[in-house]
A and B are shown apart, each in its own frame.
Chain A
Amino acid sequence: MKIITLTLKKKSQIALEFDELIPDKVFNWEKADFENYQVPVGNRRFPLTDYFDIEVEGDAASPEEVKMILDGDFGRVKYIGCKMSAGEIIVNGDADLHCGAEMKGGKITVHGDAESYAGREMKGGELEIMGSTREFCGCSYIGDWRGMSGGKITLHGNAGKQLGECLSGGEIFVKGDCDILAGIHMNKGFIQIDGDVTRWPGGQMKNGNILIKGKLGILLEGFVYDSIVVDPEIDGKSFSGKYIKYNGDIAVNGKGSLYLNAEKNREYL
């Protein structure tokens, strides 16, 4: 096991880009390699040592054996774990845009908030965020109708707008509240929101499942009441309690399902 620890010593106002510092690429790097590395910042590259104290312990024969610990406020470090396929990254602080974007495997834990695009186009692996995210968590690249297709995102805080946009597989769990248009254009996969939702979950969804345990503000006209279900089983997961099941979004001939906690949403009964 190789443990790579980067401890922030100077925060850059212009974001650093970490797409080259993923386990797949650095598993065989020695401390000196990191010290010689120049990290992209704007249109330049500057020494990584300008920004971090670097510790490297142990050895790794493959990316699986790498654990990267990022200590400090990484709120200006973009593309953490982008495209990684194995290993582990722990961020002890906030993470900037595209954390875990296009990741294929391994695990990322953020002990803080993550900016927009966390888990964009994720194909596998696990992304756990102890805080909240902003917009487009677990989304597609703009223009693509194929979004996150595998893996799991767990969000302990709140989700911003358009969570799981174009979701094409995988699972997203939100422990907190969620803003508008969760699961917009989704065509497969599962989204569970434990808290409250402002409005319009599942807009233009073609397929997949959304389950809301909290209270919903406004439901779209594109959803058609199906039935009341008790203790439903969805995608192999069991839930206790009474849920109102809708099908939609019929605006796009959607075959998706939206489950709404019946107790918290009595006005929809």
Chain B
Amino acid sequence: MEYILKNGIVYDPANKIAGEKKDVMFKDGKIVEQVSSDAKILDVTDKIVMPAGVDPHAHVAGPKLVVGRIYRPEDSRKGVTSKTDVCRSESGFSIPSCPATGYRYSRMGYGTVTEAAMPPLEAKHTHEEITAIPNIDITPLPLFGNNWFVLQWAKEGKIDEIAAFVASWLRIVKGYGIKIVNPCGTEAWGWGGNVHGIDDPVPFFDVTAREVIRALAQANEMLGLPHSIHIHPNDLGHPGNYPTTVNSLDCVKDIAKNGSKRNQTIHLTHAQFHSYAGTSWRDVESGAKEVADYINNNKHVTCDIGQVTLDETTTMTADGPMEFDLHELNGLKWANKDIELETGSGIVPFIYSGKAPVPSFQWGVGLELFLRIKDPWQVCLTTDHPNAGPFIRYPRIISWLMSNERRQEMMDNGEVRVWSYKRTGLGTLDREYDFNEIATITRASAAKIYGYQDRGELTPGYNADIAVYDLNPNDIDPSKEPAAIEHAFGNAMYTIKDGQILVKDGEVVKVVPSHTLWTDVKGFEEQEKTVMEEVMPTFTRFYTVKFENYQVQDHFTPNPTVTEVKASK
């Protein structure tokens, strides 16, 4: 089937197209330069056309999500809709059911989402949920930062072993890249403790976060994985944590990049939670300037923000100790899920109210980072869904970024408390994003950061993943019309995935199965074999499942999109 998207105004940052009126053509699911006269014409005159959205960090599928859904029926109840001819029933606000997750991303014009924390032992569960989510492709990142094998080798500086282990494990659990969450801290939580800063050794293993981050970064570049290490540093949410953040980024500065498409060697996730100065919640101040300055001066770093959206939501992370602290703070129900030899996690509902000082402050810090980081290719829009707010608020964040007037209005009329500008630099920043920058931080930069070679751009040969928004960029002043911006980005005029129209005028009109993106390392087989011989006796003794039953069988990824990497060593 051939199509022409006619007369749209195209924003395709990867191809340096910033608001040009031109046609976009696709055939058999791919972008093409030419179509025949039989092509079906979709008239999108003067509407915004972008590659479909790419979300670099969200929690959408896996064991934590389901614990959240099981233990928060009051949240599930909020989003309940009746089934339609096309869609099944939806449920959930902050933790939508799997079908709802797919429909809602699709309605916003998104095509690809990263599931940012897959515990290897329960990877089959994550894949089951990915299969249950329609319409968006999903990239799961397995957790390595507290894995006992990794901790031991990192202590001994055995990078080859770590690289071989990662190569094997990505294949065994069908994962895309290396996720690190509170390195050493989550292992310390196995005993109810935590670590502070990157040089605080974890009990028993006696290794520090600095050693683990460096070792995994070296292994990552040794293999030349498409994505860099993806890190949630220590001390999340603690006042005074920005030096830990900067140190975590800086400790890999000397490691050479080995990946064809990306520029970075480390991706900092939900930077907002990691950019606080001060010593306690009493005297907390924004550290956004310091973190942004570091990012502006160092091209080996990219980040996403984790913007607070001022909603009641559900926090969930593999940072187990942080979640218990949060429970101590707000007293709401605490769930925890520790995974043998690998990781942990915690879940707590949280109400980010603009009427309270701390959420207002966090809201300000997130926006401050967006506005201070100069190069949009180094930053992505996220809410760390559902941690700082549900992903359905992306359009609202876009409206904030495009309108200084709206931000000032919120601070003036009390929608957020004074800490939003008194404790942050937000009040002094009047930068407004334009549509091209929005297109960068919501799709192009994420695609580049992940090294995707088939999406995130409207380049011929790439997947026909396209979003059309019902806005005429020459006719609207986003600064003055935030509500219109939010509405348009929340209800795509068209969402096209692999050349199929999935959404029309904000309604899902077609449901298709999602793809699972994972990385298959080639050329490291010998090292992998050796390392597996070392791993197996320990595996057999200390895991509670047999290795045969640990692996993710092929049928758990019915629609795989495999990135083959030729290990260069």
Contact = CB atoms under 8 A, between A and B. Distances in A.
Interface string B72-89: 111101000000000000
Interface stretch (A75-83, A142-150, A195-203, A221-229): A142-150
B429 interface: no
Nearest to B75: A143
A37 interface: no
Q: Among the interface residues A140, A141, A143, which one has the most CB atoms of the partner chain B within 10 A?
A: A143
Interface in B44-86: 71-75, 77
Interface string A119-154: 000000000000000000000111111000000000
A39 to B, nearest CB: 17
B72 A143 contact: yes
Interface of A: 140-145
Contacts of A140: 74
A145 B327 CA distance: 14
Contacts of B374: none
B422 interface: no
Interface string B479-493: 000000000000000
B251 interface: no
B158 interface: no
A42 to B, nearest CB: 16
B431 interface: no
Contact-residue size bin, chain B (C-beta under 8 Å from the other chain): under 10
B73 A145 contact: no
A145 to B, nearest CB: 7
B314 to A, nearest CB: 11
Nearest to B71: A143
Contacts of B73: 141-143
A140 B71 CA distance: 15
Given A143-B71, A143-B75, 12 more contacts: A140-B74, A141-B73, A141-B74, A141-B77, A142-B73, A142-B74, A143-B72, A143-B73, A143-B74, A144-B74, A145-B332, A145-B333
Contacts of B71: 143
A140 B77 CA distance: 13
Interface in B328-342: 332-333
14 contacts: A140-B74, A141-B73, A141-B74, A141-B77, A142-B73, A142-B74, A143-B71, A143-B72, A143-B73, A143-B74, A143-B75, A144-B74, A145-B332, A145-B333
A25 to B, nearest CB: 17
A161 to B, nearest CB: 20
A247 to B, nearest CB: 18
Contacts of B74: 140-144
Contacts of B333: 145
Nearest to A142: B73
A142 B77 CA distance: 10
A205 to B, nearest CB: 14
A140 B74 CA distance: 10
A141 B71 CA distance: 12
A218 B404 CA distance: 61
Please give me the 6 A-B residue pairs with the lowest Cβ-Cβ distance, nearest first: A144-B74, A143-B74, A143-B73, A141-B74, A142-B73, A143-B72
A140 B75 CA distance: 13
A186 to B, nearest CB: 14
A185 B332 CA distance: 12
Contacts of A141: 73-74, 77
A214 to B, nearest CB: 32
